[in-house]
């Protein structure tokens, strides 16, 4: 990880220690950045007793959480640093006395002006995975957990960032031919559902709302694997396509149940099975946490292959950033 990002994380950790007791954590952002923060909520709720809540930026403000105050830590993210709801949420959190930390790709953005501290990350195809948004997020997350409850587990989790790029590069190579086939089979589908749970929930959610709806104009919805049986499974039929993720953690049981049912009733079930990832470079007890980053590589490949097969660039928007909304 770049020295700049390491230093920014260090500054945030020192500020958190100086602040003293944190009794609530809020993770706030919009769209893809909201999805990006979801794994942090997953890890925090599994590893600490401090309540952590992930909310869309505007709902964070409109809900007015009662626990929000001087002992809160509010982590926001906006890739562009300009999304008005996230800038406003960060300003609101700071006014309530919370410690505000923003993640952003952009430098010197409106978000950076409102947040007390900003942690930047890098972007682009040649970027080392440890410098990308999720790599830097985990760099902060495990450093923070190591402060709350020091453990060699978090030292190892931080060390895993050094091999992350090898893992994701290998996965990209492994899945490129597989996903090219999926995309060619699915390219005419007007609708594709996205199903997952546990640490993969954020990836599957952003696959539906960002990659498919926003960037490909393909109808989609994110369905939680457990919730699939509480309504959505009624739409399953032989010609209804599902891209389903099977994770590594305890949530896997929910994913498997959904996949098993869907496969019985649909001929178009595509499974991203995290057990097929080569994560041997990462300690077994940390693989669940890191698997969503690897799933993200596969979801991105699907989006890129869709864009190619459908002749629809991932950069085209009708409304976003073009109209007043």
Ligand X SMILES: N[C@@H]1[C@@H](O)[C@H](O)[C@@H](COP(=O)(O)O)O[C@@H]1O
Report in angstroms how near the CB of residue 83 gets to ligand X at its nearest: 3
Q: Which helix (H) or strand (E) holds 120?
A: strand 117-120
State the Cα–Cα distance between residues 64 and 43, nearest whole angstrom: 24
Nearer to ligand X, 206 or 236 (CB): 206
Nearer to ligand X, 109 or 236 (CB): 109
SS3 135: helix
Dihedrals phi, psi of 277, to nearest 5 degrees:
-75, 140
For residue 251, is it left (φ>0), alpha (ψ between -120 and 50) or beta? alpha
Q: Which residue is nearest to ligand X (CB)?
A: 31
Pairing state between β 222-224 and 242-246: unpaired
Nearer to ligand X, 109 or 197 (CB): 109
Report in angstroms how near the CB of residue 120 gets to ligand X at its nearest: 13
Report in angstroms how near the CB of residue 110 gets to ligand X at its nearest: 11
Nearer to ligand X, 35 or 44 (CB): 35
Report in angstroms how near the CB of residue 71 gets to ligand X at its nearest: 26
Nearest residue to 219 (alpha-carbon basis) of 200, 239, 191: 191
- Please name every residue paired with 130 in a beta bridge, in sequence order, or none if there are none: none
Nearer to ligand X, 253 or 314 (CB): 314
Report in angstroms how near the CB of residue 81 gets to ligand X at its nearest: 7
Report in angstroms how near the CB of residue 87 gets to ligand X at its nearest: 9
> Binding residues for ligand X, per CB under 6 A?
30-33, 78-80, 83, 86, 210, 214
Neighbouring C-beta atoms of residue 163, cutoff 10 Å: 16
Neighbouring C-beta atoms of residue 270, cutoff 10 Å: 18
Nearer to ligand X, 79 or 91 (CB): 79
For residue 128, is it left (φ>0), alpha (ψ between -120 and 50) or beta? beta
C-alpha distance across the termini of the chain, in Å: 37
Nearer to ligand X, 86 or 291 (CB): 86
Task: Evaluate whether 58 touches 91 at the Cβ level (below 8 Å).
Answer: no
Report in angstroms how near the CB of residue 50 gets to ligand X at its nearest: 25
């Amino acid at each position: 990880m770049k020295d700049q990002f390491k230093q920014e994380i260090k500054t945030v950790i020192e500020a958190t220690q100086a602040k003293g007791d944190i009794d609530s954590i809020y993770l706030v952002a919009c769209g893809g950045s909201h999805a990006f923060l979801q794994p942090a909520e997953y890890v925090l709720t599994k590893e600490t007793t401090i309540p952590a809540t992930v909310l869309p930026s505007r709902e964070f403000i409109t809900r007015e959480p009662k626990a929000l105050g001087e002992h809160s830590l509010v982590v926001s993210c906006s890739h562009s640093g300009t999304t008005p709801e996230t800038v406003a949420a960060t300003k609101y959190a700071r006014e309530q006395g919370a410690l505000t930390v923003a993640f952003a790709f952009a430098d010197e953005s409106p978000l950076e002006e409102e947040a007390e501290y900003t942690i930047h990350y890098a972007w682009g195809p040649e970027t080392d995975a440890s410098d990308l948004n999720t790599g830097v997020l985990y760099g902060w997350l495990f450093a923070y957990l190591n402060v709350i409850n020091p453990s060699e587990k978090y030292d190892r989790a931080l060390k895993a960032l050094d091999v992350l790029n090898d893992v994701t590069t290998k996965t990209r190579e492994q899945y490129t031919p597989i996903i090219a086939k999926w995309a060619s089979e699915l390219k005419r589908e007007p609708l594709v559902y996205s199903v997952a749970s546990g640490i993969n929930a954020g990836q599957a959610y952003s696959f539906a709302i960002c990659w498919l709806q926003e960037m490909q104009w393909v109808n989609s919805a994110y369905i939680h694997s457990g919730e699939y049986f509480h309504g959505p499974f009624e739409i399953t039929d032989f010609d209804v396509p599902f891209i389903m993720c099977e994770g590594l953690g305890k949530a896997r049981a929910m994913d498997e149940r959904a996949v098993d049912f869907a496969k019985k009733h649909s001929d178009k079930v595509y499974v991203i099975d995290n057990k097929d990832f080569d994560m041997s470079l990462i300690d077994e007890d940390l693989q669940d946490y890191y698997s969503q980053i690897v799933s993200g590589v596969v979801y991105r490949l699907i989006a890129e292959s869709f864009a190619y097969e459908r002749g629809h660039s991932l950069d085209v928007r009708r409304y976003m950033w073009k109209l007043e909304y």
